[in-house]
Amino acid sequence: MPNINEIANSAKDNADKLGIKKFDIYGSTVDDTSVQVDQGEPKQVKASNRSGVTVRVWNEDNTMGVTSTTDVDPKGLELALKTAYEASFFGVKENVPDFSPEATAPIANKPQDKTPQAPVAELIERLLVAEKELLAAHPAIKGVPYNGLSQRDIDRFYLNSDGAVRTESHSLASVYLYSKTEEEGKKPRSAGAFRINHSLDNLDINGCIKETADKTISHLNYEKIKTGKYRVVFSPEAFLSLLGGFSNLFNAQSILDNQSLSTADDLGKEIASPLLWVFDDALHPANVGAESFDGEGTPTRQVSLIENGVLTSFLHSAGTAKRFNTQPTGNASIGAKVSVSPNFYHVFSTATPEEELSLETAENVIFIDDLQALHAGVKALQGSFSLPFDGWLVNKGVKTSIESATVAGDFLEVLKSIIYVEKEPELTPGGVCPKIWVNELSITGE
Amino acid sequence: MLTSTLLLSNQLPTLQYSSTPERFDETWEAPLATLLGLGRAAGADFIELFLERRNYISCLAEDDSITSISPSLSTGAGVRVFRGKADCYVSTNDLSFSGLKAALEKGLSILGLQLPTPKAFIPEINLELLRDYATKRGKDAWLPVCSSIREMGEVLLDGTANLKQKASHVQSRRATYFRDWQEVLIASSDGTFARDIRLTQSVGFNLLCADGANRASIGERAGNTSDANFLRTWDSQQAAEKIAESAGKMLYADYVESGTYPIIMANHFGGVIFHEACGHLLETTQIERNTTPFADKKGEKIAHESLTAWDEGRSENAFGTIDMDDEGMPAQRTLLIEKGVLKNFLADRTGSARTGHPRTGSGRRQNYTFAAASRMRNTYIDSGEYSIDDLFTSVDKGIYCKKMGGGSVGATGQFNFSVDEAYLIENGKITKPLKGAILIGEAKEIMNKISMCSQDLEIAPGFCGSVSGSIYTTVGQPHIKVDSITVGGR
């Protein structure tokens, strides 16, 4: 398997050989290993070493074509370039994607390099210990049906025919545990947790075990909840899931495509409670998977999306930035049609709330820990959602697990109905965020 | 070329194979048989090699322009090694003999197995004569017959023009198409040696209509395997009419009032209820994880006596149709439930070995980066004895779920799925459109509440995500009545 520099050089050589004058290439190689266990035995080990590149080629008429390939030997790269060239004659004639004006801009803060991978036997051993501890945490916990411990090395590059060359490497290790209970005469209950870090040594496996056990045990005594309107507290992960589901709000490409809840004129408009600030911040210190450039080679950065409830900016590719007469933001993926997506949310508040709220003192609020089936229950273009969730009815600090319920509402109304943004942020896979209190939402139980 | 089974381990680096690089044919037998023998000599109980080549293209039309043509080419292989209860799966992009050998060695070493000493004999595994489903059915000719880029563009632009004509209050119109051509070769240490070509295509619309604060977004998709002419036969005018009508009705719909209702669920994509509420729970993958309430219920009544359900790989051109699964086993027709009684589970090779249920040709995977797992193919509730009128007249107040969205099922058997197009039923009649409904329930309970099935079975294409990735499947059913279910809304 060629390494990332060999792939990059070979791609460039092939483009030159084919007489392709304008092109850019984004590629990556991933070397990962993951393990699963089942009742004290290794279940499956997966290892993968794979590469892929996406090439864009502009023809003499300046229309563009694209091809992706995993054949990263010289022959495969040559075929990909030829295919992209052929496709270029069917490319868009207006607003043709172009190189990012920042593809050669210097990058100040490069994320850290790779760390050595641990032996597979060590991964299995650590996961077996985690499973054992989780099973011992409570007699009702009978299994950990979903679990995994993985480590991954990622190398990425971007280059173009104008001389841009970027490479970067980093390592990740992650663990997830999802346990299930069985008790006579009761329904099975389940819950899980996830941790990620740069290396296995820094991975908080014990924290993952504890969170999984605590959550699972807290769901043992469950009750139906009466259908009605409730004050709702979203966990950091739940709120970021919802924010992610409606990310078209900030997506400049979606706005241009009429596929957004925002319009180009909405900048400066108050769309949320003044308590809410939202940044997209790929380089946030807590983002262990931070990448310093996007699929077009644009450096990533902190982008302020909402300040004091006011919509302040959108996420841009090179193409959308040009059409909005602004700068790209490092959120693009390479492609025939360049897509834009958030990197890492940072949600917080700078305002002083009218009153401090706490789950220790609040009465009959719903604490939503995990939203499910977002792919089905979020109507991103309508602004509405109706989602099953895991959570508790909390009354003066006493948590009672809720059996089988849904939460429904309109996301723009949710943003306006935020009454409290807690101070303590928590790290989730999608960003950092504190608990978010919303005045009232529809809950369907019995 | 390998000429003898008496191969010594130290000869491996000098072997020269000349496998056909552009096609998975008999020339791959020798190198694969050698690798399988090497794995067995190292002490593995079972080894499987899965080779894949893919030629994919997608096309997107937005309003009156083609905005994306995205070809994608890929090749890769997966090596699965079993030792006792443990197994290891290694994937690579490198299909050279040395690349496959490196992947095999990695898999062996992960399981604590060592390569034989230099002077050890490497037995060659005797593979069966290549079972070539592609050649047998003329599939090698498919790819050149498929629509060209130009034709894709013309069909999609014609489609969005139809949408413009049929729909009102249009905010955006999209037509999407993809063609996924896949060639696979499977060789395993039990002698399996099989090749197939799959051609999967899908085309559809997404329509967003808006009038002030009222918004409706509706999608509709057709799918096919095995018909290279599929895109040419797509009736975009009829599809546009259908989606425009749905969007028009849902644009001004009220939000559903949450509660517990009897529902009637339409045929076609309505079959997602069975897919989520029961189908997943009949995969041996779920038995292995102890995440199905049906694990020990074979032969027992788990559903209403009106319900019979199948999963099979053989429906002509259906989206989940396969001639063989991704472990080289011919697809079969599997009776899941007969008149409410659980008859069979869906088993892949590993699931069969670990649970004792017979293999059903259900080992499937998204691509070479995933190990196969027991997965659904074309899954549907069979036709019943009632008319649609019978179903409606049995409901005083309920909800007609005409068009379903996606759904999911969790580790405890709780499932959910959304309804994209719904109507209130009052006194057996449809009275007004509703939006925002999501249905939730528990598999064990709901299966006994599907009390009436009509006679109009229809199937629909879908995408199913699970442990071995996203795969093409079919859901289906006639109109059915569910006596009561929790409907989440506002």
State pLDDT tens for residues B100-145: 999 999 999 999 998 888 888 888 899 999 999 999 999 999 999 9
B79 CA: distance to closest CA in chain A (Å): 10
- CB-CB neighbors (< 8 A) of B72 in chain A: 67-69
Residue of A nearest to B67 (CA): A92
In a domain, A348, yes or no: yes
In a domain, A164, yes or no: no
User: Of the candidates A41, A47, A50, which has its C-beta nearest B93's C-beta?
Assistant: A50
CA distance A221 to B273: 28
Question: Mutate which of A10, A378, A406 to test chain B, going by most B C-beta atoms within 10 A?
Answer: A406
Region A38-43: mean pLDDT is 90
| CB neighbour class for A265 (10 Å; exposed up to 12, middle 13-18, buried from 19) | exposed
Contact residues, B window 218-277, toward A, CB-based 8 Å cutoff: 255, 258-260
Region B31-60: mean pLDDT is 96
pLDDT tens per residue, range B173-192 = 999 999 999 999 999 999 99
CA distance A311 to A269: 6
CA distance B450 to B98: 55
Q: What is the dihedral of CA A165, A166, A169, A175, to 10 degrees?
A: -130
Closest CA to B162 of B193, B124, B130, B204: B204
In a domain, A78, yes or no: no
Tell me which residue range forms the domain holding A390: 221-445
pLDDT for res A30: 93
pTM of the model: 0.93
Inspect the interface and report whether the beta carbons of B371 and A227 lie closer than 8 Å.
no
Helix/strand/coil (H/E/C) assignment for every residue in A364-392: CEEEEEEECCHHHHEECCCCEEEEEEEEE
Inspect the interface and report whether the beta carbons of B291 and A377 lie closer than 8 Å.
no
pLDDT for res B21: 85
For chain A, how many residues are written? 446
In a domain, A269, yes or no: yes
Closest CA to B172 of B132, B218, B222: B218
- Average pLDDT of chain B is 94
Phi/psi of residue B279, nearest 5 degrees: -50, -50
Q: How many domains does chain A have?
A: 1
In a domain, A431, yes or no: yes
In 10 A of CB B220, how many CB atoms?
A: 19
pLDDT for res A373: 87
Closest CA to A190 of A204, A199, A180, A182: A180
Q: Which residues pair with B93 in a beta bridge?
A: none
In a domain, A283, yes or no: yes
Region B387-397: mean pLDDT is 97
CA distance A424 to A224: 30
Whether residue A295 has pLDDT greater than 80: yes
pLDDT for res A8: 79
Whether residue B306 has pLDDT greater than 90: yes
Whether residue B1 has pLDDT greater than 60: no
CA distance B397 to B467: 39
SS3 label, residue B118: coil
B280 Cβ contact list (under 8 Å, min separation 6): B286, B292, B376, B409, B466
- Residue A162 is given by DSSP the state T
Q: Given the DSSP bridges, would you call strands B429-435 and A41-58 parallel, antiparallel or unpaired?
A: unpaired
In a domain, A326, yes or no: yes
In a domain, A235, yes or no: yes
CB-based contact A281:A315 (threshold 8 Å)? no
Contact residues, B window 404-463, toward A, CB-based 8 Å cutoff: 405-408, 410-414, 416-418, 435-438, 440-442
